[in-house]
Amino acid sequence: MKPSENGEQQARKRLQEAARERGTSLAALSRVLGRNAAYLQQYVSRGSPRHLDEPDLRKIAEFLGIPAGQIETRPHGPVASSSAMRSEDWIEVRRLPLDASAGPGSFSVQEISFDVYRFSRKWLREMGLEGADLSAIRVEGDSMEPLLRSGDEIFVDRNKRAGEGIHVIRIGDALHVKQVHASAPGRIKLISANDAYAPIELTRDEVEIIGRVVWKGGRV
């Protein structure tokens, strides 16, 4: 048996075990996908289809509350050796449909991920992000230029809500990304990188700190 085939069998077994642990059946999961009741049973026992489509894989993972990489059979990208990286070597960072405004503000919506980034644990460790509670959201507006540009994707570590730095914050229903500085006792100052935007000073109770911005990515 080829290493890739063994990995596929293990992923199918993990799917079956995850369903059993959560008190659901493969038939029920098949219906979640809008498929016939035997769809996933055939996938697990016969390898037909060989791989699950990405939308189906994501639906199953979200339904079971597990990383999609745990049950994925299709390898991603070039592999340096004869065996693919194990699913536990990867971390999935959820992309949330929340535009963090770097300008006047934008309204948040329900925090349900619509996509994920997959990063190796090794890379995250090298970036000092191992153990972080990361979510990815997109920046809108120009108030944080040149540090952050409109359209940049930022990683927000929800484990880091204290201290100064660049944070995603919520004021009312609107999300913003600002530099957070301590002001007078019980007050904080929100500063934009773009000098065209004046600092804002609010009481601590008026601001909810979502997390610190720890990484950014964007088009060149």
Rounded alpha-carbon distances, angstroms, from residue 75 to 18, 44, 50, 82, 87: 20, 17, 12, 12, 10
Tokens 């601001």: give the residue.
207
Band the pLDDT of 4: cuts 50, 70, 90.
low
Rounded Cα distance, 94 and 74, in Å: 19
Please tell me the total count of domains within the chain: 2
Give the contacts of 7 (CB within 8 A, at least 6 positions apart): 73, 75, 83, 84
What CATH number corresponds to the domain at position 23? 1.10.260.40
Pairing outcome for strands 165-171 and 153-157: unpaired
The pLDDT, as a whole number, for residue 178 is 94
pLDDT of residue 77 exceeding 50, the answer is no
Length of the chain: 220
Final residue in a domain of this structure, among 74, 101, 134 = 74
99 pLDDT tier (thresholds 50, 70, 90): confident
Decide: 91 and 66 in contact? Cβ < 8 Å: no
pTM for this structure?
A: 0.58
More confident residue, 193 or 88: 193
CATH number, domain with residue 126: 2.10.109.10
Residues 103 and 64 in one domain: no
Identify the domain containing residue 60 by its residue range: 3-74
